[in-house]
A and B are shown apart, each in its own frame.
Chain A
Amino acid sequence: EIVLTQSPGTLSLSPGERCTLSCRASQSISSSYLAWYQQKPGQAPRLLIYGASSRATGFPDRFSGSGSGTDFSLTISRLEPEDFAVYYCQQYGSSPYTFGQGTKLEIK
């Protein structure tokens, strides 16, 4: 099973700032089969990024994903108030499909 470790656990920033969230895998993820999800309180996760860098429908271009192998990152170039949420990475390169423990992005 591939274990995903996200860092930091919590990130406190202000609107307008830039942030980078990290996701590290215990073994190489084939074909960059890594996704990111955004989850707000009381809601289901929402697909944000797939294939490590492809943005899902409905998310603006201030969101970007990068990485390969075991190291991946999600960058938000300029935080908007609606971006404060929990972000999870997920690998789908091998079963069982696993999620990271999440990074909570909170308003400073």
Chain B
Amino acid sequence: QVRLQESGPRLVKPSETLSLTCTVSGGSISSYFWSWIRQPPGKTLEWIGNIYYSGSTNYNPSLKSRVTISLDTSKDQFSLKVSSVIAADTAVYYCARAYYDIWSGYSLHFFDYWGQGTLVTVSS
């Protein structure tokens, strides 16, 4: 069974950089797209961006100037950095896996596995 687990600081000061890591277990990081998604308290979900196992990335234009997603295949981990954070970046951050159809070889960007989520608060 594939499991994803987010880790990182739960409190970040305004203007600093938020850093999270997602560790994948029970399955390979290869052949998949891996995403970060966030959910401010009481609000809906926002897709932040993704990374392919090859290292190519795609970001939401609303956050693109402040976001970096990277991958460490040797550790089966991928990471998120959000720079210059403000209070509006306070949210539960989820890592998630995009579906891969083994028969067609295509990836479809709905999310079949999610981490449990971690609340990151931006406050001084």
A residues in contact (CB < 8 Å) with B:
1, 33, 35, 37, 43-47, 50, 56, 88, 90, 92, 95-102
Given contacts A45-B45, A88-B45, contact A96 B60 (CB under 8 A): yes
8 contacts between A and B (CB under 8 A): A44-B94, A44-B116, A45-B114, A47-B110, A90-B45, A96-B47, A99-B46, A99-B47
A contacts with B: majority SS: loop
Given contacts A44-B94, A44-B117, contact A33 B44 (CB under 8 A): no
B residues in contact (CB < 8 Å) with A:
43-47, 58, 60-62, 94, 99, 108-112, 114-117
A-B CB pair tally, cutoff 8 Å: 50
| 6 tightest Cβ-Cβ pairs between the two chains A and B | A35-B110, A92-B109, A44-B114, A96-B60, A99-B45, A97-B47
